[in-house]
Amino acid sequence: MSEWTPETWLIASARNRTEGEPLNVPPVFASNFYLPHERLYSRTDGTATTDALEELLGGLESAKALVFGSGMAAAATVFHGLNVDSEIAVPEDPYHGVAGIVEEGEAQGRWRVRRLDQADTNAWIDAVASCDLVWLETPENPLMTVADLPAICGAPRGGNTLVAVDSTFATPLNQKPLDLGADVVMHSATKFIGGHSDLLSGCVLTRNEELLEEYAARRLRNGATIGAMEAFLTLRGARTLSLRLERAQANAMELAQRLESNPGVNRVLYPGLTSHPTHEVAKTFMSGFGAMLSFETTGDGDRATDVCNRVELINHATSLGGVETTMERRSVIPGQERIPPTLIRLSVGCENVDDLWADFSQALA
C-alpha cells in the first residue's frame, strides 16, 4: 500500500485513471478475449474487475490477494493443499463449513486433527511447533474468543508449519495477522467486506509468492473463480467498509453494554467488554473489537427463540456483516448443538442504536 491510510486506500485504490475511462472499474462480462492478449480465459486469467478487487484487498494487508467465488472456496483451497497424513490444529468449534472439510479429511485418513480451545494459547503454540496447518478463526464464532495472535503467530515453527487465520469477523481494519507472523489470511468477503448481504465472495492473502502460485493453480483447477458481477459488487461494497465498520462497531459496543444490564440477559460475549475472557488479549493488538457479539437470554432455548421471533426492526436471519442488524439462535444450526441453547448471535448493523435498543427492549420484555 502507498502512504495512504487504510480508510483512504479503500476509496482511492484500484481506480481507472486513464483519460476518458470510467472512474470505477466496471464488471467485465467475458469468458474469453481476442488474441493475442495476456488474457486467454477469465477462469484462468481473471478480468479487469477481479484485478481491481485483488489490488484493493491486497493493499489492505500489504500482501497479494486471490479472490474466490465464496469464503468456503477460499478456505477449501488452503486445506486441500495439505499432504496425506498431515496434522492440523483447528478451534474446537470452527465455522461449520470448515468443520465439514476437517471431518471429511479426518474420516478419509488424509489428516490427523487437534481441536483446541481458542483461549489456550500454550496449546496453540505447541501446535505451531509440530502441525502442518494451524487454522485460527478469530474472533471466534459465536463465543467471540480472541486468539493471542502475536504469541501464536510468532511462536517457533515446525519445519513445514503453515499458520492461517480466518479474519472475517475482525476485517482487515481491526487486525493484520500477516504483520504478526501468519502465513495466510482468509476473509469471507460475503460478510463485512461486501457489506450488503447480496453476494458470495472470498479471498486469501499471503506474502509468500510460492503459496500464491499454488493457490491460484488450485483455484483454476477447482473452477472457484469469482463471477463478474460478484467481483464488481464486492469492490463497490468494500469502498465503504471503513464507514460501515466504524458505525457498526460503535453500535455493537453500546448494545453490549446495555444488554449486560438487562434483566432478561444472563451473559454478553463481546471482546470490547472488560467482562469478556479475552478482552485483555484483544486490546493488545486489535484496533477495534468488531460488530459481532453474542448474548445468552434467561430461561431456556424456547425463550431465546421467542426473543428472535419478537424482533421487528432486527432481522431474524443467518449470515452477517451487512448494513442491517441480524440475529439468530446458533444451537439450532446442524452441527452447532454444543452451543448454549439460549445463545443468540448478533451481527450489528448501521441503524440508529436507539432504534435497535427499543426493538431489543420490547423483545426481551
CB-based contacts of 283, cutoff 8 Å, min separation 6: none
Q: Which residues of 176-214 are buried (b: 16+ CB within 10 A; e: fewer)?
A: bbbebbbbbbbbbbbbbbbbebebbbbbbbbbeeebbee
Average pLDDT over every residue of 303-330: 95
Tell whether 1 is covered by a domain: no
Label residue 114 by pLDDT band (50, 70, 90). Answer: very high
Task: Determine, yes or no, domain membership for 210.
Answer: yes
43 is an active site residue? yes
Is 151 in the same domain as 164?
Answer: yes
Q: Which of 43, 117, 198, 221 is catalytic?
A: 43
Of 78, 97, 44, the closest CA to residue 223 belongs to 44
Which residue, 187, 218, 238, sits at the end of a domain? 238
| Residues 197, 151 within the same domain | yes
Considering the domain architecture, whether residues 105 and 248 belong to the same structural domain is answered as no
218 belongs to the catalytic site: no
Tell whether the model's pLDDT for residue 107 goes beyond 60.
Answer: yes
Is residue 190, in this structure, part of any structural domain at all? yes
User: Quick one: pLDDT at residue 2?
Assistant: 60
Q: How sure is the predictor about 142, in pLDDT bands with cuts at 50, 70 and 90?
A: very high
Written as nine digits, the cell of 207 is 506474502
Does residue 259 sit within a domain? yes
Q: What CATH code is carried by the domain that includes residue 210? A: 3.40.640.10
Last residue of a domain, one of 238, 257, 277: 238
Confidence of residue 203 (pLDDT cuts 50, 70, 90): very high
Residues of the domain holding 342: 241-364
Helices (runs of H) and strands (runs of E) counted in the chain: 14, 12
Which of 238, 266, 283 delimits the end of a domain? 238
Specify the long-range contacts of residues 250-253, CB closer than 8 Å, at least 24 apart: 250/353, 251/291, 251/325, 251/348, 251/349, 251/350, 251/351, 251/353, 251/356, 252/289, 252/290, 252/291, 252/292, 252/293, 252/346, 252/348, 253/289
Question: In terms of domains, do 131 and 199 share one?
Answer: yes
Q: 191, 219, 247, 329: which is the annotated catalytic residue? A: 191
pLDDT reading at 58 higher than 60:
yes
In this predicted structure, the answer to whether residue 158 has a pLDDT above a threshold of 90 is: no
* Domain shared by 355 and 231, yes or no: no
| Residues 216, 299 share a domain | no
User: Does residue 1 register a pLDDT over 70?
Assistant: no
**pLDDT over threshold 70, residue 276:** yes
Residue 289 lies in a domain: yes
pLDDT at residue number 245 = 98
Which residue out of 166, 176, 183, 270 is catalytically annotated? 166
Residues 323 and 298 in one domain: yes
Q: 36 or 193: which carries more pLDDT confidence?
A: 193
The answer to whether the CB of 176 falls within 8 A of the CB of 183 is no
| pLDDT, average across residues 25-29 | 94
What is the grid cell recorded at 333?
444450526
DSSP secondary structure code for residue 203 in this structure: E
**Neighbour-count burial of 284, counting CB atoms closer than 10 A to its CB (0-12 exposed, 13-18 middle, 19+ buried):** exposed
**114 noted as active-site residue:** no
Please indicate, yes or no, if residue 196 is contained in any of the structural domains.
yes
In a domain, 300, yes or no: yes
Predicted TM-score (pTM) of the model is: 0.96
Q: Which three cell numbers stand for residue 50?
A: 477481479
- Where is average pLDDT lowest: 16-25, 120-129, 280-289, 301-310? 16-25
Give the closest residue to 314 by CA, choosing from 358, 270, 276: 358
Q: Which band of pLDDT confidence, cut at 50, 70 and 90, is reported for residue 140?
A: very high
Annotated active-site residue in 64, 93, 95, 359: 95
177 and 298, same domain (yes or no): no
Number of domains the chain is built from: 2
Is the same domain home to 43 and 23? yes
User: Which secondary-structure segment (H or E) carries 174?
Assistant: helix 171-174
Q: Could you report the per-residue pLDDT of 32-55, keeping only the tens digit for each?
A: 988 888 888 888 888 999 999 999
Let me know whether 73 and 181 are in one domain.
yes
Whether residues 100 and 148 fall in one domain: yes
Specify whether 13 is located in the same domain as 135: yes
The enclosing domain of 319 has a CATH number of: 3.90.1150.10
Specify which residues 204 forms β-bridges with.
66, 186
pLDDT, residue 45, reads 85
Identify the pLDDT of residue 332: 85
Whether 333 is in a domain gets the answer yes
